[in-house]
Amino acid sequence: MIHDYSKETKIGVIMLDPLSRSQHGYRNYRGKRKQTRWQYRRDQHRMIERQIEKYGAREKENIYLVPVHLNLDCVNGFPMQTYPRNARMPVEEQRVSDGAHLSPEGYRQFGDAIYGWLKVSLSSE
């Protein structure tokens, strides 16, 4: 539809962002199916394969894959919360509280990757 208007318009397809390195961020999910990191990672990998199959190697058509995952910190780019190490220990530690959604800082890194692609794309015109 965009290319019906202008064939010269460059389209960036954002590749699915990575998930947290930790299973901790998946323990709070609710719903019919309890989500695990492994399940999410499997589904995410298949989605990226489909993105590459459909949109990869189409630069001549002005369609580009934008790999935002190259710029994201999968250790510190997710929301953190303080939890006790175990039920009997008063010592607490920071753990990921949401394994699929980035923290504000993580989303800024996501935006930095898009900005980098835009800057390169627009400078080559």
Q: What is the mean pLDDT of each run of 10 residues along the chain (125 residues)?
A: 90 88 71 73 90 94 91 85 86 85 91 92 77
- Domain membership of residue 119 as a residue range: 2-123
Q: What is the pLDDT of residue 46?
A: 94
Rounded Cα gap, residues 25 and 18, in angstroms: 13
**Per-residue tokens: 113:** 């990757």
Q: How many CB atoms lie within 10 A of CB 99?
A: 24
- Give which of 65, 69, 66, 13 is closest to 41, Cα–Cα: 69
Q: What is the pLDDT of residue 125?
A: 61
Q: How many CB atoms lie within 10 A of CB 90?
A: 6
Query: 69 to each of 15, 80, 100, 114, how far by Cα in Å?
Result: 8, 19, 13, 11
Q: What is the pLDDT of residue 100?
A: 80
How many distinct structural domains can be found in the chain? Answer: 1
Q: What is the pLDDT of residue 97?
A: 83
Query: What is the pairing mode between strands 92-96 and 80-84?
Result: antiparallel
Residues facing 66 on adjacent strands: 14
